[in-house]
Structure 1
Amino acid sequence: MDAVSIPALSDLTTEFHVVALPLVTRFRGVETREALLLRGPEGWSEFSPFVEYDDTEAATWLAAAIDFGWREQPAPVRDRIPVNATVPAVTADAVPGVLARFDGCRTAKVKVAERGQRLADDVARVRAVREAMGPEGRIRVDANGGWNLDEAEHAVHALAEFDLEYVEQPCASVDELAQLRTRIRYMGIPVAADESVRKADDPLAVARAGAADLIVVKAQPLGGIARALEIVADAGLPAVVSSALDTSVGLSMGVALAASLPDLEFDCGLGTASLLAADVTASPLTPRGGGLPVARVEVDATLLERHAASDERREWWTQRLRRCHALLAG
């Protein structure tokens, strides 16, 4: 983002709120999701990099928040986005309860390779999803780069009986992804890249290396909708739009991205508001009939007050906003 096009910090802080939203179940190691919401000329936007991210990485998320709140967005080419259910690394007996929160979803993304768990836990969880969804349901698994090459190959073999749609970020490096894709090509299970796109210095390296069959894109980590659309076009691969456990405001950014993609072959990972026990709007973007409407979200003042973060956390986020704004402006 060009420094001259960045709003002044005073413009960003005219109306902003820091919220702490409880989760229904532990996800990504957290039980409460914090986010900073800002209102720009185009509407509400969100800045919510995970707390462990450094300022350099977080500044890209701020660029996305500015883009969505202060810039006109591309015209949508669809008015509804099909989404998948997201199943955290829960025990197999908890799977039906998780899926019940995702109304009408025909696809489930299942978290695997959770630290402290075994492959047997993953197999049991995916089996429970297949049993709950039946033969017509689609199942994709997401390892978040948690396996090495040999572990990933072994895991794909162990999970193949459940008819996987694809396996997402099974290994951390582009080279490992490329090797795994070669090893399992005969099985017909595609490889998707997520972290190798959104956390990479060069998000197109995975496409040039032939290391993935499709890419996962997220609006906030990639710096906004326009930048994400550029990456998809330059990669020349099918794309799945996903989220980062956003509030409904952040999810509306992802929905706008999915709505503006020329082609949308896969259900998107934008139904994660179903994992939140609270939200910032009276009409949260939770799946209905397996999809989400394409629309901006209006926040509810009562909910903002009810779920306001502590003064200490608000100050932490305020200082983070200042530092990240300085990086973008400087």
Structure 2
Amino acid sequence: MTDAPLPPLADLLQTARVVALPLVTRFRGILVREALLLEGPEGWTEFSPFVEYDDDEASAWLAAAIDYGWLPAPPGVRDAIRVNATVPSVDPDEVAAVLERFPGCRTAKVKVAGGDQVLAQDVARVRVVREVLGPEGRIRLDANGGWNVDEAEHAIHALAEFDLEYVEQPCATVEELAEIRRRTKYMGIPIAADESVRRAADPLAVAEAGAADLLVVKAQPLGGIRRALRIIRDAGLPVTVSSALDTSVGLAMGAHLAAAVPDLEYDCGLGTASLLAADVAADPLAPVDGSVPVRRVEASGDLLDRWAADEDRTAWWLARLERCHAVLDR
């Protein structure tokens, strides 16, 4: 499953470091982001599938870590990546402070369809984002598959007044995405697919079904930079490159993927180091003037020590690493 030869498990365990990083605000229902860092021949790399993912799904993230840490990154066509701000499901009065953490970003991705929130709260949040960004700013929504088709249609109508760039994963399934795209096509608001690419047995199914106008691709869940580039090539749709609340090491992997994409029309979701209250790098890959540079990031020994996960969580991650290595070694 990996483009690089699978390193022995002992080699991975030798450099493995597990961290627990506090977030600035709750995101995806968590206040602490755990990650496992590895050092390969090409430098530091990251294995950080969300804790609820099973081993088969998480093994793709390990393949990505090995791809990035054991092989040189593919040649890029750009040395900086424009990135978007990410606005979690916060109250409207918190929006301005969140956006301040993304200096120079002209685009904001706003989380909507939170399970404990109603549409009126989403509308209020997006309204403030539009006020802060002004008329020239770009707003995209991310529902993480939280609506059914009827709910999505109603919500897109309610939020269309804010001049949306696109709506990401409004519904969970490929069939639902195709239907909501059909229902709202006259509005001219593109539909993007994320989970239907990165969590699908066939990441090309959404493109083949005509269910999306663009794809959101992420290096770790798709098995690494090279596999993601093959998916982009075969899908034949515009893409944006995003992250999964990675540390700066994982974000650097995403930046190298974005650098190698031939055509990159959309700002990328690689500025999420700004959502972390701590990081593993002394020089985090945070947005400056709306962009992040394409470079490898070195993990700091002092920061790895400071934010080390406790003994139980470290043992949990090392056991997960061993199981996922076994999946890749089948």
TM class by smaller structure: over 0.9
Please give the alpha-carbon distance, in whole angstroms, between the structure 2 residues aligned to 1:54 and 1:174. Answer: 21
Change (3 A) 1:308 1:4: closer
SS at match of 1:14: helix
Distance 1:46 1:29 in 2: 21
What pairs up with 1:194-205 in 2 under 5 angstroms? 194-205=194-205
Matches within 5 A, 1:114-125: 114-125=114-125
What per-residue deviation string (whole Å, max 9, x for no partner) do you get for residues 92-119 of structure 1? 1100000000010000000000011000
Match of 2:321 in 1: 321
AA aligned to 2:101 is R
Q: Where do 1:75-154 residues align within 5 Å?
A: 75-154=75-154
Structure 1 match to 2:272: 272
Q: Which amino acid aligns with 2:328?
A: L
Q: Cα deviations across residues 37-68 of structure 1 (Å, max 9, x unaligned)?
A: 00000100000000010111001100000000
**Moved >6 Å (runs of 4+):** none
* Superposition deviation, residue 73 in structure 1: 1.8
Number of the residue aligned with 2:52: 52
Q: Which structure 1 residue ranges, 5 or more long, are not aligned? A: none
Question: Percent same amino acid among aligned pairs?
Answer: 71
Report the equivalent of 1:257. Answer: 257
Structure 2 unmatched runs, 5+? none
Give the Cα–Cα distance (whole angstroms) in 1 for the partners of residues 201 and 262 of structure 2. 25
CA distance 1:324–1:155, shift in 2 (3 Å): same
Q: Residue 2 of structure 1: CA displacement? A: 5.3
Deviation at 1:11, TM superposition (A): 1.3
CA distance in 2, matches of 1:313, 1:182: 45
Whether contact under 8 Å (1:3, 1:329) holds in the other structure is: no
Q: How far 1:88 moved relative to its partner?
A: 0.1
| Cα distance, 1:324 vs structure 2 | 0.4
Q: Is the 8 A contact 1:80 1:259 kept in 2?
A: yes
Q: Distance in 2 between matches of 1:60 and 1:31?
A: 24
Query: In 2, distance between residues paired with 1:2 and 1:105?
Result: 34
Question: Shift in Å at residue 142 of structure 1?
Answer: 0.2
Structure 1 counterpart of 2:212? 212
Asked if 1 retains the 8 angstrom alpha-carbon contact of 2:83 and 2:268, the reply is yes
Equivalent position of 2:297 in the other structure: 297
Maintained 8 Å contact 2:139/2:163:
yes
Pair 36,156 (structure 1): closer, same or farther in 2 beyond 3 Å: same
TM-score by length of 1: 0.99
Deviation at 1:71, TM superposition (A): 1.2
1:186-207 CA-partner distances (Å, limit 9, x unpaired): 1100000000000000100100
**Partner of residue 38, structure 1:** 38
